Amino acid sequence: MAGENGGLEIRPMDQFEVKALFGGDVSWYTPTNVTLWMALTVVAASALMIYGARGRALVPSRAQSAAEMTYGFIYNMVKDVAGHDAVRFFPHVFTLFMFVLFANLLGLIPFAFTTTSHIAVTAVLAFTVFLSVTALGFILNGTKFLGLFWVSSAPLALRPVLALIELISYFARPISHSIRLAGAMMAGHAVAKVFAGFAGALGAAFFVPVLAVTALYALELLVAVIQAYVFTILTCVYLKDALHPSH
């Protein structure tokens, strides 16, 4: 799209293309760069949580300390946000966090493919959370789960209106949940690519966009972690709504 008028040829979206690893068409089971980078995500997460913590030392090494801090961070998040009875869903939330965090971080490696920049991926994650939380809400609370939409603290006349708004916002959750993550990842990577393209086009003044990309890279690192955090904490908030629907 950017290179239609010749001159500057920057194709910021090319990095998001799904390609078969060994050539050929992409069918549902073809190993693609998606497969590769998701596998690397699993490897990286396992490396931190298993290889890093392999010493099981009382006085932890640096890697073990990082693994334990990640564990404690997510554990306390689940406990504080979703309540004590949500701790049994801690492994699920933790898996989600590790996947999103490492997919985001690995995507920052130059020439890497960012799996979480694809709406298909984040939408599956978000709808998995949405559907399982909704099902959990009905299984645990029965029809009382619908009390989530009936704001009993509001005046009676306002309640139907509020119920409508709550209902819409409830179904908007997975959309914002998924597009937030994909949008943040995609936008950051596309901007980085555009700036990097400027470096090639500017010739002698190449260091200006290189400095800009360096600064942007630091920001992207922050965004990668914060988006993983936000994705997880929102999951915890939805989980809390399912476990304790009354406001």
Partner 1 sequence: MEGDIAEMGKYIGVGLTAIGMGGAAIGVGNIAGNFLSGALRNPSAAAGQTAMLFIGIAFAEALGIFSFLVALLLMFAV
Partner 2 sequence: MAETAASGSGMPQLDVSTFSNQIFWLIVTLVVLYYVMSRVALPRIAAVLADRRGTITSDIAAAEEYKLKAQQAEEAYNKALAEARAEAGRIVDAAKAEMQAELDVQIAKADAEIAAKAAESERRIREIRDSAMEMVSDVSKDVTTDILDVFGAKADKRSVTAAVNARLKGDA
> Contact positions toward partner 1, by CB under 8 A?
77, 80-81, 172, 175-176, 179-180, 183, 226, 229-230, 233-234, 237
CA–CA–CA angle 89, 90, 95 (5° rounding): 105
Rounded-to-integer distance, Cα 151 and Cα 50, Å: 45
Write out the binding residues for partner 2, residues 133-192 only, by CB under 8 A. 182, 186
Write out the binding residues for partner 2, residues 37-66 only, by CB under 8 A. 38-39, 41-42, 45-46, 49-50, 53, 56-58, 60, 64
Rounded-to-integer distance, Cα 66 and Cα 206, Å: 37
**One of 21, 109, 120, 172 touching partner 2 (CB under 8 A):** 120
- Give me the amino acid identity at 145: F
125-154 burial, b for 16+ CB within 10 Å, e for fewer?
bbeebbebbbebbeeebeeebeebbebeee
Of 11 and 144, CB closest to partner 1: 11
List the structure tokens of 102.
């490492």
Rounded-to-integer distance, Cα 51 and Cα 62, Å: 12
If we measure between CA atoms, which residue out of 117, 140, 167 comes closest to residue 240?
Answer: 140
Question: 117 is in the binding site of which of partner 2, partner 1, none (Cβ under 5 to 8 A by kind)?
Answer: partner 2
From the list 7-15, 79-87, 149-157, 206-214, the region that binds partner 2 by CB under 8 A is 7-15
Of 58 and 204, CB closest to partner 2: 58
Binding site for partner 2 (CB under 8 A): 1, 11, 13-14, 16-20, 25-30, 32, 34-35, 38-39, 41-42, 45-46, 49-50, 53, 56-58, 60, 64, 67-68, 71-72, 90-92, 94-95, 98-99, 115, 117-121, 124-125, 128, 182, 186
